[in-house]
Amino acid sequence: MSETLRENALLRDADDPLGKLRERFALDDAVYLDGNSLGALPAHVPARMADVITREWGRLRIRSWDESGWWTAPERIGDRIAPLVGAAPGRIVVGDSTSVNVFKAVVAAARLAGDGRDEILVDATTFPTDGYIAASAARMTGRRIVPVTPAEVPDAVGPRTAAALVNHVDYRTGRLHDLPGITAAVRAAGALAIWDLCHSAGALPVGLDEHGVDLAVGCTYKYLNGGPGSPAYLYVAERHQPAFDSPLPGWNSHADPFGMTAGYEAADGAPRGRVGTPDILSMLALESALDVWDGVAVEDVRAKSLALTDFFLECVRAYAPAGRVESLTPEAHAERGSQVALRCAEAPAVMAESIRRGVVGDLRRPDVLRFGFTPLYVGFADAERAARTLAEVLAEIPASTAGGSTSA
Give the start-end residues of each E strand in 67-136. Answer: 92-94, 119-123
Q: Which candidate in 25, 103, 127, 371 is catalytic?
A: 127
Please state whether 175 falls in left (phi above 0), alpha (psi between -120 and 50) or beta.
beta
Q: In what helix (H) or strand (E) does residue 343 lie, and over which residues does it extend?
A: strand 339-343
Q: Which candidate in 123, 196, 279, 382 is catalytic?
A: 196
Before 366, cis peptide (omega within 30)? yes
User: Active-site residue 221, yes or no?
Assistant: yes
Sign of the CA dihedral with 359 first, then 365, 366, and 370 last: negative
Q: Which candidate in 32, 221, 233, 235 is catalytic?
A: 221
Type of residue at 48: R
Helices and strands (H and E) in the chain: how many: 12, 13
User: Active-site residue 311, yes or no?
Assistant: no
Cα–Cα nearest to 105, from 217, 240, 264: 217
Q: Which candidate in 143, 175, 272, 370 is catalytic?
A: 370
Q: For residue 296, give every residue at least 6 positions away whose Cβ sits within 8 Å of its Cβ, in sequence order, or none.
A: 18, 21, 376
d(C-alpha 185, C-alpha 128), whole Å: 24
Q: Which candidate in 222, 272, 336, 388 is catalytic?
A: 222
Strand partners, 93: 234
Q: Enter the DSSP assignment of 151.
A: G
DSSP percent split of the chain into helix, strand, coil, nearest 5: 45, 15, 40
User: Active-site residue 196, yes or no?
Assistant: yes
CB 183 within 8 A of CB 213: yes
Q: Report the Cα–Cα distance between both ends of the chain, in Å, rounded.
A: 33
User: Active-site residue 127, yes or no?
Assistant: yes
Q: What angle do CA 53, 91, 291 make, to 5 degrees?
A: 40
User: Active-site residue 222, yes or no?
Assistant: yes
Type of residue at 183: T
d(C-alpha 298, C-alpha 317), whole Å: 29
Type of residue at 86: G
Q: For residue 365, give every residue at least 6 positions away whose Cβ sits within 8 Å of its Cβ, in sequence order, or none.
A: 347, 348, 406
Q: Which residues are part of the catalytic machinery? A: 127, 196, 221-222, 370
